[in-house]
């Protein structure tokens, strides 16, 4: 069975400082991993995805994530936070064992202080 | 225009009422999904459909039913709404072998 744990339910950073949102996964197969972002009163937007190619994945708006198989992690980072990054972020896993269905983490709410 | 639309966007109803949430997509995708979002739980899968004749239960299907009227339309029904079905509901689509899902804007449902 696949599962995802987002290690922080809330993260607060100051504008201009680095962002780190942590995600650990469990999967019996070679997984695909995603980060989605949800801004208030909006649907979910794909930030980036890992599907067995390069382990360092670059996404939109300056975000990137690194797939580390030995640590079963897929942490999301950004060098410098912007006020517009304030949102909820979801780490998501998909593998063949689950018919490529998505399993979501509980979400991390990112707050950005001026 | 949005690729995945949901109606209504907000709905307040009473316990015991029948409610239908509708989803339409213009992406031409065969696969459609219904999720509910609760704080701290992420999104959980209610039902999914891989084509018009294929309907499958997800993780939390009890109390819900669906109808796939056409490739582009997938409706979710609450036969007799109860307060713990108060949540944000999302429809999503995906195409072919792609893993990525595309989400609608959500429907906020409140059951009093």
Query: DSSP characters for A12-53?
Result: EEETTS-EEE-EEEE-SS--EEEEEEE-TT--EEEEEEESSS
Residue B48 has pLDDT above 90, yes or no: yes
Confidence class of residue B97 from pLDDT cuts 50, 70 and 90?
A: low
Name the percent of chain A lying above pLDDT 90: 75
Confidence class of residue B16 from pLDDT cuts 50, 70 and 90?
A: very high
Average pLDDT of the residues of chain B: 92
Handedness of CA A109, A47, B25, B44 (dihedral sign): negative
Residue of B nearest to A43 (CA): B105
Q: For position B74, what pLDDT does the model report?
A: 98
Confidence class of residue B91 from pLDDT cuts 50, 70 and 90?
A: very high
Average pLDDT, integer, range B82-101: 87
Confidence class of residue A51 from pLDDT cuts 50, 70 and 90?
A: confident
Dist CA A100 CA A102 (whole Å): 6
CB contact under 8 A, A106 and B104: no
How far is residue A85 from each of residues A16, A33, A81, measured CA to CA in Å?
11, 20, 7
CB contact under 8 A, B45 and A101: yes
Which tokens is B88 given? 């944000």
Say how many C-beta atoms besides its own lie within 10 A of residue B39's C-beta.
Answer: 12
Residue B96 has pLDDT above 90, yes or no: no
CB contact under 8 A, A43 and B104: yes
Residue A97 has pLDDT above 70, yes or no: no
CB contact under 8 A, A43 and B45: no
Residue B10 has pLDDT above 70, yes or no: yes
The per-residue b/e assignment along A61-90, b for 16 or more CB within 10 angstroms, e otherwise, is: eebbbebeeeeebbbbebeebeeebbbbbb
Dist CA B93 CA B79 (whole Å): 24
For the CA atoms of B93, A38, A7, A80, the dihedral, rounded to the nearest 10 degrees, stands at 130
Question: Which residue, A5, A32, A52, A26, is CA-closest to A99?
Answer: A32
Residues of B in contact with A5 (CB under 8 A): none
Give me the residue label for tokens 């409140």. Answer: B110
Average pLDDT, integer, range B41-45: 90
B42 closest CB neighbour out of A41, A46, A104: A104
Interface contact B90, partner A, CB < 8 A: yes
- B73 Cβ neighbours under 8 A, 6+ residues apart: B22, B23, B24
Residues of A in contact with B103 (CB under 8 A): 36, 43-45
Q: For position A109, what pLDDT does the model report?
A: 96
How far is residue B64 from each of residues A53, A112, B59, B85, B110, measured CA to CA in Å?
38, 38, 11, 10, 15
Distance from CA of A106 to the nearest CA of B (A): 4
Name the percent of chain B lying above pLDDT 90: 83
Dist CA B105 CA B1 (whole Å): 12
Confidence class of residue B95 from pLDDT cuts 50, 70 and 90?
A: confident
């Amino acid at each position: 069975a696949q599962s995802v744990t987002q290690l922080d339910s809330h993260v607060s950073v100051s504008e201009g400082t680095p962002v780190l949102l942590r995600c650990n996964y469990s999967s019996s197969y070679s997984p695909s991993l995603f980060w989605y972002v949800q801004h208030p009163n909006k649907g979910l937007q794909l930030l980036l995805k890992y599907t067995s190619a390069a382990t360092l994945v670059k996404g939109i708006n300056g975000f990137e994530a690194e797939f580390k198989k030995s640590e079963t992690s897929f942490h999301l980072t950004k060098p410098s936070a912007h006020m517009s990054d304030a949102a909820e972020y979801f780490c998501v896993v998909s593998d063949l064992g689950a018919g490529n269905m998505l399993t979501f983490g509980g979400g991390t709410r990112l707050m950005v202080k001026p | 225009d949005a690729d995945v639309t949901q109606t209504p966007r907000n709905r307040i109803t009473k316990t015991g009422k029948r409610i239908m949430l509708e989803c339409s997509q213009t992406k031409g995708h065969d696969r459609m999904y219904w999720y509910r979002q609760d704080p701290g739980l992420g999104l959980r899968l209610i039902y999914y459909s891989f084509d018009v004749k294929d309907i499958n239960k997800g993780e939390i299907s009890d109390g819900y039913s669906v109808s796939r009227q056409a490739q582009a339309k997938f409706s979710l029904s609450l036969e007799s709404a109860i307060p713990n079905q108060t949540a944000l509901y999302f429809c999503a689509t995906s195409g072919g072998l792609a893993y990525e899902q595309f989400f609608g804007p959500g429907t906020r449902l409140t059951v009093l």
